[in-house]
A and B are shown apart, each in its own frame.
Chain A
Amino acid sequence: MELYLDLVSPPCRAVYLFAEALKIPFEFKLVDLSAGQQYSEEFGKLSVVKKVPVLKDGSFVLTESTAILEYLVQKCSVADHWFPADLQQRARVNEYLSWQHLNLRSHCSKVFLLRTLYPFVMGSEVPKEKMDAAVEDMKQSLNLLEDKFLQNKPFIVGNKISLADVVAMVEIMQPLGTGVDGFQGRPKLMAWRDRVKKELGEKLFDKTHEAVLNSSGLQQKMQNNSELQKLKPLFIKYFR
């Protein structure tokens, strides 16, 4: 089984963390986003959507991290708590996985992109108004994460970690390296983060997040990459 990944991407980290933590055998195929490799002809043959992560299991090619995670759960026999069979518990995982696309994921990514990609694409720092609005949206999502999804439970579904926690965590980590700390002033989230790290393995978690936390390294890389310079027009859509 092959997983096409770049650990700078949160959904890639979710898939990677899950597969590694559960010792699911796979071949790591790097698709270097800061070199624009997702737009290569070769990758386009694998997936016309041109995004990561992608799973290739024999001739079966699958995109979308939540679909990949559920595929891995269904295919490999993993402990029930990752994606509980119980009707209501499963619904809670599904509810989070659905909600997060246009909320926590979207808002945290936007902050990250405004800090790292915007200057590269637009040639100037992001306007304060835009940045403030993005940070405010992220704050609202984090409030909902705490008040609706976590509440006073150790994990989103209850006493045990599930796919929901992994998918949530990688998104909050995304803008951290750019100086926007979603955990700051939120002791409940910090405690939850520590629990999730422990369940997945702290070394694994830290290793997985190394690249994205090195924000200045990323920006350097982008500036130096001539291929990426050519792709600038494609990135403008993120900011319209």
Chain B
Amino acid sequence: MAVELYLDLFSQPCRSVFMFAKKNNIPFEFKKVSLMDGEHYGDDFGKISIIRKVPALRDGDFCLSESIAIMVYLAEKFQTPDFWYPADLQQRARVNEYLSWQHTAIRMQGSKMFWLRLMIPKMIGMEVPKEKMDGALEDLNNSLNLIEEKFLQDRPFIVGDQMSLADLVAIVEIMQPLGAGLDVFDGRPKLSAWRDRVRTFIGEELFDEAHQNILGAQEGMKQIDPSKLELFKPKILRLFL
């Protein structure tokens, strides 16, 4: 039985897992969980994960959530090339360091920007106070600065000459605000060059396939029934406002 991956490519961590599995030719069954339709709150998905988030993995009886845990599990199980999660003590530490830092930094801020710029105004119809927007942008820029100054520096990739899980996890988060029309690469040649290297390393077709939904979000929003998001309103308000 093939591994099942429960994914929605609107979600950044789902994109990392998707690209990782495809790039490494790991056989899996793509199980779509539509976040817009609230499928992650359904009974079926509840049996996979009571955390009710994507991505999730099912391998026989074993169910696992959290993209980082999933990718490390797949890396080990399918013996993917060392550079993804190096065995070397210090290199692995550098990957772990990025994977840890990013949760409350770029991941949170990229997501927030996507919601503040697109989802909240367009879907929920709320005006976002300028102060909130400015604060969010400042935080996002601080994270992007740190990515360039601490994590990348003058290296081609975060850990060195080769791509690792760190770059894979970083790129999907940095791409998220683009879906809301904010080009974070503008004025950042170092970051742009890194993005190009990452896209080449992963494979342009695969990278673009993974990002098709998010980059089409602004258009896609026009067709979605706003009443669907009523479900998420209280949570979003608490999360972002």
Q: How far in angstroms is the closest Cβ of chain A from B236?
A: 13
Which residues of chain A have C-beta atoms less than 8 A from B62's C-beta? 88, 91
* Assembled-state Cα–Cα distance A10/B111 (Å): 25
Which of A98-106, A153-161, A206-214 lines the interface with chain B? A98-106
A62 x B97 contact (CB < 8 A)? yes
Residue count of chain A within 8 Å CB distance of chain B:
34
Instruction: Return B88 CB to nearest CB of chain A, in Å.
Output: 10
Q: How many residues of B contact A (CB 8 A)?
A: 35
Residues of A within 8 A of B132 (CB): 240
Q: Which of A60, A94, A144 contacts B68 (CB 8 A)?
A: A94
B224, CB-defined interface residue at 8 Å: no
A63 at the interface (CB under 8 A from B): yes
Q: Is the CB of B51 within 8 A of A148?
A: yes
From B50, B100, B108, B139, residue with most partner A Cβ within 10 Å = B100
- Give the chain A neighbours of B73 by CB distance below 8 A: 87-88, 90-91, 94
A95-B103 contact, Cβ under 8 Å, with A66-B96, A67-B97, A75-B89: no
> Is B150 among interface residues, defined by CB-CB distance under 8 A?
yes
Contacts of B76 in A (CB 8 A): 87, 90
With a cutoff of 8 Å between Cβ atoms, the chain B residues found around residue A71 in the complex are: 89, 92-93, 96
List chain B residues, Cβ under 8 A from A92: 64, 69
CB < 8 Å: which of B96, B150, B238 contacts A70? B96
Give chain A nearest CB distance to B40 CB in angstroms: 15
* Cβ contacts under 8 Å, A77 to chain B: none
| A48→B146 contact, CB < 8 A | yes
The answer to the question of A147 belonging to the interface, with a C-beta cut-off of 8 Å to chain B, is yes
Contact B90 A60 (CB under 8 A): yes
Q: Are B69 and A67 in contact (CB under 8 A)?
A: no
Residue among B69, B94, B107, B238 having the largest count of chain A Cβ atoms under 10 Å: B69
Q: Top 8 A-B pairs ranked by shortest CB distance?
A: A101-B103, A67-B96, A94-B69, A64-B100, A98-B66, A95-B69, A67-B97, A91-B73
